Amino acid sequence: MKSAEIIRRAKKIKLLALDVDGVMTDGSIILDNDGNEYKAFYVRDGHGIRMLLEAGITVAIITGRSSKLVVRRAAELGITEVFQKCFDKRLAFKKLLEKYALEDTEVAYVGDDVVDLPIMKQVGLPVAVADAAEEVKRIACMTTNNRGGRGAIREVTDLILKAKGLWKDRLSEYLTA
């Protein structure tokens, strides 16, 4: 898809929905012998999410797994919409559309694997991370340059802020400090 069309779509976004494993993280799930789970989140992705939230754009997490770490990271970032154990992610997506009175075209979704395809086929701005499954890349109107958990989300948050004309305001807060 041409960049002008991607920017046109990004300009309409009022909600960014994210998968976790492979999008917010690199997809690794580290388990120790005591049953503890570890995930690594990229700090610049997190800061991009914070800037988006501060600009009034809602951010949601929709994931098939359940993890205390996801709840903790969402709380740290200020994400209040967290849906875990979603075997059919469309149910959570439908709840978000109803709650915020949104059209499909006002939602961006970032995914990496085939479980993300049903939502990606619905949203206005479907995004695949660089290391996503080929089927996901084919559905996406944009594929990030960065891999999941390594700056892909930041690319999307910056794109949305710039397309909506909100980037300079976000940036000016750091330049005037």
Give exposure, 36-71, as e/b (b: 16+ Cβ within 10 Å): eeebebbeebbebbbbbbeeebbbbbbbbeebebbe
d(CA 124, CA 116): 14
CA atoms within 13 A on the CB side of 45: 25
Of the pLDDT bands very low, low, confident and very high (cuts 50, 70, 90), residue 19 is very high
Of the pLDDT bands very low, low, confident and very high (cuts 50, 70, 90), residue 174 is confident
Average pLDDT in the chain = 95
pLDDT digits (tens, 9 = 90+) for 135-147: 999 999 999 999 9
pLDDT digits (tens, 9 = 90+) for 34-86: 989 999 999 999 999 999 999 999 999 999 999 999 999 999 999 999 999 99
Contact 122/103 with Cβ under 8 angstroms?
Answer: no
Which pairing describes strands 125-128 and 30-31: parallel, antiparallel, or unpaired? Answer: unpaired
Q: What is the total count of domains within the chain? A: 1
What is the Cα 1 distance to its own chain's centre?
A: 19
pLDDT digits (tens, 9 = 90+) for 99-130: 999 999 999 999 999 999 999 999 999 999 99
Domain that holds residue 57: 3-175
pLDDT at res. 42 = 96
pLDDT at res. 93 = 97
CATH code: domain of residue 127: 3.40.50.1000
pLDDT at res. 5 = 95
pLDDT at res. 1 = 65
Of 89-103, 139-153, 158-172, the one with minimum mean pLDDT is 158-172
116, burial (CB in 10 Å: exposed 0-12, middle 13-18, buried 19+): buried
Between 90 and 1, whose confidence is greater? Answer: 90
d(CA 71, CA 69): 5
